Structure 1
């Protein structure tokens, strides 16, 4: 999917079509990837370079907004194909890229070791000399094009977003939620926050979204899934749903079957809002598309209730 200003979206093939995007920026014959999916995504990314006539040696940056495996699992593998690229990653995430053992263990605690191995493959460590640690306001340059990195916790403490002044766009990873193209209607995109385990912080998440709004972006490029516009409306929706999700979590705190109660209430919230947005799919079909998010968001809210609630 090609956009203006040398930006394109590549479907990484993770989970289902139009679920997980890597974004490629090309400037004056040089290139950068923002988020790369899993090891199994790498052929699609390399094919995109070939289709655009970009040599692998012309890729200067692989930027991962955070080190969750659907964003960064393939980082080590793709670097073996890109001889001149450096990996840009948050300082909290850098050790996990150098030694992925704890990252794999964390994912295995959520999904199970067998599922992690099947879904992500064997993570390739990144040599320390190929890492750029990205702090708040770090500016990465791609052929003179400034990519400004902003620390944006809330989804994860090791998360940053990328502001591209050339296109007046933000590459938001998971900070600005998820928006699947199947839910688009005449009203535009439909959006939901993501509280995936294990570091959800609603106060920080709302602060990070507010920080992005101060940039007055014309578009936001989500990993799940690609470009959305009408940013102010979507941000208002995110604030509203974050508050609703926190209220659901608080109300289920003492439930004897808390996880199932959370899932039921989250699904109801999401499907009701999707129908209000004009989605005409059956509730069963919408529930199937959102099942992974419902499960992971419920897990994240439970962890917040137990360990991170303020």
Structure 2
């Protein structure tokens, strides 16, 4: 049976079914019977989305918006499928991402460069294009009206230059995509939550990411809704942790910046060591092997992102 996480102020979430349970969330905002879906998972997520709507007494024609925090395929791979299923909806996306939703060929090619073509096909299937007339480009401070509430879109680079975060002032909440890091529920300890930054390829920018986190915190949100994974509280503490850990990622990259075929491996090993130390410092009772298994793909992607950042920042 599909698990739906119901929060306050008409906000809910489901597991998208990507990689492992509770790895990636799809969020729903419901106001006056109108629905916005934030991030889409992959094509395989559509049945889960439809089942969640049905369980909430809603139908396809209640969906006004599909909003993408950014166009990385774990967030946007299912957008084309959802838009076909919800013909009255508009897609809301950063202006830099809009063209990739209308023609996803370069987006798929970029993912293939990271994961390999066969793995992209296995993970995402066919990424479907979306007609340009159904796409709303959302530059900084675009306001989307949903029912009786407003959703404010903020330009938040650092993780990606095509990233927006969505402020829901009615709920005093922000849908932060990957800008406010990753927080997996398996590491929750004594009611506390662990957070770790994501520096995935190819547009990691530490200066911009620090600024984006500060921008989000300037709204004094009560809660963040992360795509990986959902509700995050105690935000002042987590913002400080993210700033410190971003600097630690950059320090590792700079320390291992000397060229060589083993540079990526050196960065990856240092990141794994950093993660294990941070989890132990946090007080989580999972052992290092369990932690590294949960974060295996994220550590690899963070290392790739730092590797690329070293090359591009030197130019």
TM range (shorter): over 0.9
The residue aligned with 2:271 is 266
Cα displacement (A) at 1:258: 0.8
1:199-210 paired onto structure 2 within 5 Å: 199-210=203-214
Deviations 1:256-290 (A, max 9, x none): 31111111100010111101111111110101001
**Aligned mate of 1:198, from 202, 211, 232:** 202
TM-score (norm 1): 0.99
Distance 1:56 1:278 in 2: 44
The residue aligned with 2:257 is 253
Cα displacement (A) at 1:187: 6.0
**Aligned mate of 2:182, from 162, 165, 178:** 178
The residue aligned with 2:29 is 25
**Aligned mate of 1:35, from 15, 36, 39:** 39
The alignment status of 1:235 with 2:239, answered yes or no, reads: yes
Cα displacement (A) at 1:186: 2.0
Q: In 2 relative to 1, CA 87–309 (structure 1 residues): closer, same or farther, beyond 3 Å?
A: farther
Cα displacement (A) at 1:240: 0.4
Distance 1:108 1:292 in 2: 15
Cα displacement (A) at 1:308: 3.1
1:1-310 paired onto structure 2 within 5 Å: 1-186=5-190, 188-254=192-258, 256=260, 257-308=262-313
Q: In 2 relative to 1, CA 214–309 (structure 1 residues): closer, same or farther, beyond 3 Å?
A: farther
Distance 2:174 2:33 in 1: 21
Decide whether the 8 Å contact of 1:89 with 1:131 is kept in 2. Answer: yes
Distance 2:238 2:296 in 1: 21
Decide whether the 8 Å contact of 1:67 with 1:93 is kept in 2. Answer: yes
Give the unaligned 5+ runs of structure 1. none
Decide whether the 8 Å contact of 1:176 with 1:209 is kept in 2. Answer: yes
Decide whether the 8 Å contact of 1:187 with 1:277 is kept in 2. Answer: no
Distance 1:283 1:70 in 2: 26
Decide whether the 8 Å contact of 1:62 with 1:85 is kept in 2. Answer: yes
Q: In 2 relative to 1, CA 183–90 (structure 1 residues): closer, same or farther, beyond 3 Å?
A: same
Deviations 1:204-237 (A, max 9, x none): 0000000011000000000000000100000000
Cα displacement (A) at 1:157: 0.4
Distance 2:314 2:136 in 1: 32
Decide whether the 8 Å contact of 1:199 with 1:308 is kept in 2. Answer: no
Cα displacement (A) at 1:61: 0.3
Deviations 1:96-130 (A, max 9, x none): 00000000000000000000000001011000110
The two structures, once aligned, show a CA RMSD in angstroms of 0.9
Cα displacement (A) at 1:185: 1.0
Distance 2:176 2:25 in 1: 12
TM-score (norm 2): 0.97
**Deviating runs (4+, > 3 A) in structure 1?**
none
Cα displacement (A) at 1:255: 5.3
Q: How many residues align?
A: 310
